[in-house]
Amino acid sequence: MVDSADSSRTRRRDETTRRLVRVARHFTAERGLAGFTLEELCSEAAVSRRTFFNYFASKDDAVLGIPIERSDAEAIARFLASGHGGGELSPTLLADLAELAEHRWRALDLAPDTFEDMSAAVEREPRLLARMLDLMKRGEEFDARLIEQREGLPDGDLRAQVAAALVGVLSRDAAADFLADPVESTFRDHFERRVAAVNTLVSSQALPERTHL
């Protein structure tokens, strides 16, 4: 019964979050951040001002889909539980990172219609792009630490940093292709094709021999 109540609360929170994000993006795309008040946003989303601040710290955060409470805690727990923890990279690392990335992209509610509003909002408000780039960088640093924790790697391990950066790039490219064709394929389809391409590329390359002076 408790699980059912928790599930219901989570569902309501997710629905309210998506509603606020969609309205914030649409308003910003049409008017810019200064072109609407927080009261207008809340009225359109059918929530109170107090409720808004339970979900987002600012209008900017609502547009970018950055809630106060992380929406990927359960996905992170699954990711950490799937690792070896013995100081070596597990063979499912990239696949598990893809699942984590897919969960996050879904939480951002980047469906084709709202993605158009997001793109228009960023074009109208260039400072949002700078914030997005900073968030991506911090996100990759966060994921590198998760990989270190999951695989039992030392702090600052280069493999964790490369894996996090690689998955960040592949995820963004896969999301862009998915949004261009959301009916015939899934985010995972696009991501896995890119991972296969990376594997083929890496396996076909030979490192140059070092020359010693």
Distance CA 131, CA 134 (A): 5
Task: Decide whether 1-69 matches 71-205 in CATH topology.
Answer: no
Question: pLDDT of 10-58, one tens digit each?
Answer: 778 888 988 999 999 999 999 999 999 999 999 999 999 999 999 999 9
Confidence label for 151 from pLDDT (cuts 50, 70 and 90)? very high
Q: How far is CA 150 from CA 140, 142, 186, in A?
A: 15, 12, 27
Distance CA 161, CA 4 (A): 38
Lowest mean pLDDT segment, chosen from 64-73, 112-121, 180-189: 180-189
What tokens were used for 101? 């990335």
What tokens were used for 94? 């990239």
pLDDT of 205 strictly over 90: no
Q: What pLDDT does 12 receive?
A: 84
Q: What pLDDT does 108 receive?
A: 65
**pLDDT above 90 coverage of the chain, percent:** 40
The third-level CATH classification (topology) of the domain covering 1-69 is Arc Repressor Mutant, subunit A (1.10.10)
Domains of the chain, residue spans: 1-69, 71-205
Confidence label for 153 from pLDDT (cuts 50, 70 and 90)? very high
Q: Which amino acid is at 57?
A: A
**Region 205-210 average pLDDT:** 75
- What one-character DSSP code corresponds to residue 213? -
Give the chain's radius of gyration (CA, Å).
20
Q: Which CATH number fits domain 71-205: 3.30.1360, 1.10.357, 1.10.260, 1.10.150?
A: 1.10.357
Question: pLDDT of 74-94, one tens digit each?
Answer: 889 999 999 888 888 898 898
